Amino acid sequence: MNGNRILMLFASTALVALVQPALGPHTAFAAEYNETGTNCWVGKSNVVVRGKGDVAMSYVFHGTSIHDNPKSPLHKGSYKCVGSGTFAKGIFTGQTYCVAVNKNKDKAFVVCVPGKCTYTRGTGKLAGITGGSTMKLLGPFPSPEKGVFVNCSTNRYKFTIPD
């Protein structure tokens, strides 16, 4: 090697050594997803009737998530959610907390309010997940028994996972 090549190789190595710690191990690249999908779930609720058309409730439900992008890290995942809220004058107000699990057992933690969900954190390959989803309900569907609810939604997902 001539002197110029050695100097260029040394300068390149030094630049990487200086820049890499500032970027951190997960800052250089991120996978961004903008996709659609369908979720379906079944759950059970506990209801306190406070008056005509006015109820308070708690609920737990389990479901599956099918994304239109088969390479999505959340495609064919499942989830469990718990929440509570009120239904008065035809309007639901409440909050739901979920944990979604993908086929690799990586988890994403989610907080939902009516129509919108936000990823708060994740584990494994979902660590650092940010973003969320919006949904449009397709049901409700007929219930197999009192206190059980069944529904599906179409969803628009937009999220980022650090590499």
Written as one string, the DSSP assignment of 80-142 is: EEEEEEEEETTEEEEEEEEEEE-TT--EEEEEEETTEEEEEEESGGGTT-EEEEEEEE---B-
Mean pLDDT of successive 10-residue segments in the chain (163 residues)? 32 32 48 96 94 93 96 96 93 95 97 94 96 94 91 96 91
pLDDT value at position 22?
Answer: 37
pLDDT value at position 3?
Answer: 35
Domains of the chain plus CATH, in order, are 29-162 (2.40.350)
pLDDT value at position 144?
Answer: 87
As given in the structure block, the two tokens for residue 60 are 């737990």
Listed residue (151, 157, 119, 150) closest to 135, CA to CA: 157
Determine the Cα–Cα distance for residues 13 and 25; give it in Å rounded to an integer: 17
Determine the Cα–Cα distance for residues 95 and 85; give it in Å rounded to an integer: 7
